[in-house]
Chains A and B, each alone.
Chain A
Amino acid sequence: MDLSDARITAVIVLLLGAATFALERAGYRATVFAFLLVVLAAVERRPPWLSILLSGGFALGSFYLINTVLRVPLPVSRWGW
């Protein structure tokens, strides 16, 4: 069995696990922002400014679309974000 992609698989599993753990504690927006930022900037080594822009845009945009427009509740942290 070819396990040459085992490293990236392990990284994905760990990051998904961390995001799942944080989801209801830190809220959807912060969790998804941090998850995307880590994958884009640290794992894929993309430019930091672009990673911040894309992660922030997706986290806020998807929350607005799903939670606010389509009214499917998404987790919010105890601090309200």
Chain B
Amino acid sequence: MEILSNLALGFSIALTPQVLAYAFIGCLFGTLVGMLPGVGPLTGISLLLPVTYGLNPTIAIVMLAGVYYGAMYGGSTTSILMRIPGEAASVMTCIDGYAMTQKGRAGPALAIAAIGSFIAGTVSVVGLMLLAPPIAAVALKFGPPEYAALLTLGLLVLAYLSSGSTLKMLLMALVGLLVGLVGIDQMSGFARFTWNVPELADGVGVVPVAVGLFGISEIMLSARSSGALKVQKPRLADLVPSREEMRASAAPILRGTLIGFLVGVVPGSAHIISSFVSYALEKKISKHPERFGHGAVEGVAGPESANNSATSGAFIPLLALGIPSGAVPAVMLAALMIHGISPGPQLMQSRPDIFWGFIASMYVGNVVLLILNLPMVGLFVNLLRIPYAYLYPFILALCLLGVYSTNQSTVDVWIAIGFGVLGYFLRKLEFDTAPLVLGVILAPMLELAIRQSLAMSGGDWSIFAKRPIAGTMLALVAALLIYNLLSRGWRTRVGLEEK
């Protein structure tokens, strides 16, 4: 009953005209950034961040969350119509979505993607609503040692679950942690690695790092692809899926929702991994796996539901523990902190208006997106007719504007350019840069938690092992590392034997 009364409070906030208007703006902007190659949800949120300064914190987070799940919807449109994933989570949708387009079934593919995203988005918000309060209640018992252990575990799990080499992921997380240490030491007040630049006293901001790594570097890598795209415009009448397609999609949507939610809770690039896992599962359990890759509707329904469900799952660690589970929630955390709000276990008690207003706005946002995406898809795809040579200069100008206006500082813009160049080379060398961004935002939290723990124990490191929750989590960290070393050794031995 308490949940229902809280939800009623949330809806009383989310259904005010002002909140609705900003949720709509966020969803619309998110859909557009999701469709445009080179501008993902992270860049979109970073660019919109300065605009939220004059707003109240509830409206700010509602709008930014709208950008996040709007981008998930938008990304599927370009994947299905043009085989271009607007953002990384839509890669799997390209395979069967585009094959359906080639068979003249673009409309039903878009409809199934939108319906699946809507169902997944709505169901997973129920999960978020039910799970976040009990997790937050447990987290209230956490002290600095537990937080230190949880953050270490989170970073390590991220490195294991991201695509690509674990070593590269750990290296990126480490670089992020080092960058996150720049600024005034929170315990002693000494300035570290600031090179006498006063702007660095507050540390390296997550916005310039994220815009540099994800926005500017993407433009550098894709600026040469200047041609206009050939776009298919589906008509509204063509959007209705057949009875057979609806029946085939029902179970994959439900499975995708569950997978997305569970993967979303775990740190990592949740929405990307969840769509991969969902596609692999659908193909594995299908009676006709040979249809996958040739226009199987299950290959669209599953991954699209999973990536939308993962966005809600990813908010659980952020709202309940104050710990972002990926790069996008990390930027959302920065946004809340700018407004003087610290997400975490106390948020539900201290600011129920923000927590429940946000939850309710996610229900509203999913309805807004369904209305936006189905009838207006033909209008949105016109944006992709603009040659990239005209688009990228404006995206760069938006990056410049977004980074500068965050702190009114050109130092931040220089940092963004520097990270843009770094991101360009890292991506050429096949490094995933998401753990770097997460490292930047987690470093101050992790450092503070470790040093507070050591202050509590008088410098005795065994405090991390003596406390049961922290000890268990660190044992998990050790087990993961040992397992990785052993399996690597085993693989090497098998490889040698095969040779």
Chain-A contact segment, one of B144-152, B245-253, B280-288, B392-400: B392-400
Interface of B is mostly: helix
Q: Which residues of A contact B226 (CB under 8 A)?
A: 44
Alpha-carbon distance A5/B226, docked complex (angstroms)? 12
**A32 and B400 contact, CB distance less than 8 A:** yes
Residue-wise interface mask of B (396-422) relative to A, using a CB-CB cutoff of 8 A (1 in contact, 0 not): 111011001100101001100100110
Query: Which of B87-146 touch A at CB < 8 Å?
Result: none
When C-beta atoms are compared, the residue in chain A nearest to B226 turns out to be: A44
Q: Are A70 and B54 in contact (CB under 8 A)?
A: yes
Interchain CB contact (< 8 A) of A72 among B50, B224, B417: B50
B499 contacts partner chain A, Cβ-Cβ < 8 Å: no
* Of the residues B221, B405, B413, B420, contact of A66 by C-beta under 8 Å: B405
Q: Does A36 lie within 8 Å of B400, measured CB to CB?
A: no
CB distance from B423 to the nearest CB of A (A): 11
Render A1-27 as a binary contact track against B, CB cut-off 8 A, 1 for contact: 111110011001100110111011000
Cβ–Cβ contact B223 & A5, under 8 A? yes
Q: Judging by beta carbons under 8 Å apart, are B393 and A40 in contact? A: yes
- Determine whether A54 belongs to the interface, using a CB cutoff of 8 Å to chain B: yes
- Residues of B contacting A5 in the complex (Cβ-Cβ under 8 angstroms): 220-221, 223-224
Is there contact, CB below 8 Å, between A72 and B53?
yes
- Return B396 CB to nearest CB of chain A, in Å: 7
Q: How far is the CA of A17 from the CA of B400 in the complex (A)?
A: 10
Let me know if A54 and B51 touch, CB within 8 A: no
Residues of A within 8 A of B81 (CB): none
Residues 37-81 of A at the B interface (beta carbon under 8 Å): 39-40, 44, 46, 54, 58, 62, 66, 70-75
Interface string of B43-84 (1 = CB under 8 A from A): 000000011011000000000000000000000000000000
Encode contact with A along B360-385: 1 for CB under 8 Å, 0 otherwise. 00000000000000000000000000
Chain A residues with CB under 8 Å of B414's CB are 17, 20
The total number of A-B Cβ pairs within 8 Å is 93
**Cα-based distance from A73 to B54 in the complex (angstroms):** 11
Contact of A32 among B54, B390, B401, B429 (CB under 8 A): B401
What residues of B have a CB within 8 angstroms of the CB of A13 in the complex? 220, 417, 420-421
Instruction: Report B216-238 CB contacts with A as 1/0, cut-off 8 Å.
Output: 10011101101000000000000
Residues of B within 8 A of A24 (CB): 410
Q: Assess A72 versus B54: contact at CB under 8 Å? Given A9-B424, A12-B223, A17-B417.
A: yes
Is B389 an interface residue when CB atoms closer than 8 A count as contact?
Answer: yes
Query: Which residues from chain A contact B405 at a C-beta distance below 8 Å?
Result: 66, 72-74
Cβ contact of A23, chosen from B50, B404, B421, cutoff 8 A: B404
Q: Quick one: closest B residue to A62, CB to CB?
A: B401
- In the bound complex, residues from chain B placing their C-beta under 8 Å from that of A35 are 393, 396-397, 400
Q: A12-B219, A66-B51 are in contact. Are A40 and B390 (CB under 8 A)?
A: yes
Please tell me if B428 contacts chain A, counting CB pairs below 8 Å.
yes
B26-52 contact mask (Cβ, 8 Å, vs A): 1 or 0: 000000000000000000000000110
* A20 pairs with B220, CB closer than 8 A: no
In Å, the complex CA distance between A66 and B50 comes to 9
| A66, B49: Cα distance in complex, Å | 12
Say yes or no: B397 contacts A8, CB within 8 Å.
Answer: no
B413 contacts across to A, CB distance below 8 A = 16, 20, 23
Q: Please tell me if the beta carbons of A44 and B393 are within 8 angstroms of each other in the complex.
A: yes
Contacts of B398 in A (CB 8 A): 62
Contact of A46 among B50, B221, B389 (CB under 8 A): B389
Given contacts A40-B390, A74-B405, contact A1 B417 (CB under 8 A): no
For A70, the chain B residues whose CB sits under 8 A away are 51, 54
Within the complex, what minimum Cβ distance (angstroms) separates A11 from chain B? Answer: 9
- Tell me how far the C-beta of A46 lies from the nearest C-beta in chain B, rounded to whole angstroms: 7
Task: Give the chain A neighbours of B421 by CB distance below 8 A.
Answer: 9, 13
Report the separation of the CA atoms of residues A71 and B55 in the bound assembly, to the nearest whole angstrom: 11
Nearest-Cβ distance from residue B307 to partner chain A, whole angstroms: 29
B396→A16 contact, CB < 8 A: yes
- Rounded to whole angstroms, the CA-CA distance of A54 and B417 in the bound complex is 24
Residues of B within 8 A of A28 (CB): 401
Residue of B whose beta carbon sits closest to that of A31: B400
- Which of chain A's residues have a CB closer than 8 A to the CB of B219? 12
- The one of A3, A40, A72 that contacts B51, using a Cβ cutoff of 8 Å: A72
**Once the chains bind, are A1 and B428 in contact (CB under 8 Å)?**
yes
B404 touches A8 (CB 8 A): no
**Pairwise interchain contact B396-A39, C-beta atoms closer than 8 A:** yes
- The CA of A72 and the CA of B221, in the complex, are separated in Å by 31
- The smallest C-beta distance from B280 to any residue of chain A, in angstroms, reads 29
Partner of A16, one of B390, B400, B401, B424: B400
User: 6 interchain pairs (CB within 8 A)?
Assistant: A5-B221, A5-B223, A12-B219, A39-B393, A40-B390, A72-B405
- The residues of B with any CB-CB pair to A shorter than 8 Å are 50-51, 53-54, 216, 219-221, 223-224, 226, 389-390, 393-394, 396-398, 400-401, 404-405, 408, 410, 413-414, 417, 420-421, 424, 428-429
Beyond A35-B393, A44-B226, A46-B389, 9 additional pairs, beta carbon < 8 A: A4-B224, A9-B421, A12-B223, A12-B396, A20-B417, A39-B393, A39-B396, A62-B401, A75-B404
